[in-house]
Amino acid sequence: MRKDFYIFRHGETDYNRQNRWQGQGIDIDLNDNGRAQAEILATKLQDKGIEIIYSSPLKRAKQTAEIVARFANIPISIINDLTEGNVGDCEGVLREEVAEKYPDIWNVWYGDNQIMDVRWPNGESKLEIQQRMTKAFEYMLSSQKNIIGVASHGAAMRYFLMQFGYGPHKMKNTALFHLVFADNKWDLLETDL
């Protein structure tokens, strides 16, 4: 059995433009630029044969998924575990303020791949995000579909993909990854196709 997953981050929101953290507690729409980014993403994915898109329930991911699905004429299904990481007290706060207030957490959050128990006050740890996303992908493996789109979020994708060699890098809006499950193992084949 082989399953191909095309995993993409949502398009831009006004919070992204302001460098303000959204997390899973802030649910806002894509802005005009984000919708344009999603249309460009849709054209990149149009010839991949995607049969279904599984999406986070948050508007920014769901709206990105809807644009891609419209281009490919395919259905969308919501999986709650694909939602963004919970960054607790930092949701809605400017990135530079978070870095200034919590420099030790900031450095580990974006730096050391081995330290997975770090968390923002009242938020999820990197490991909890990774485990939640892994659970979502295990569920998607049971799908009857073999070529699957996945609409999610920066932190959720980053800490899930770390298992497959992706670094703790920040990722741009509509970043795209091709992950394959075959012969009982996962392989991250390409990024930003």
Which positions are annotated as active-site residues?
A: 10, 84
How far apart are alpha carbons 8 and 193 in whole angstroms?
A: 11
Instruction: Tell me the C-alpha distance between 128 and 125, whole Å.
Output: 5
Rounded to whole angstroms, the maximal C-alpha distance in the chain is 47
Helix, strand, coil percent content, the chain, rounded in steps of 5: 40, 20, 35
Conformation bin of residue 29: beta by default, left when phi > 0, alpha when psi is -120 to 50: beta
Tell me the residue ranges of DSSP E strands in 140-184.
147-152, 176-182
Distance from C-alpha of 23 to C-alpha of 84, rounded to nearest angstrom: 6
Contact (CB, 8 A) for 44 and 141: no
- Name the 3-class secondary structure at 178: strand
Contact 97, 87 (CB under 8 A): no
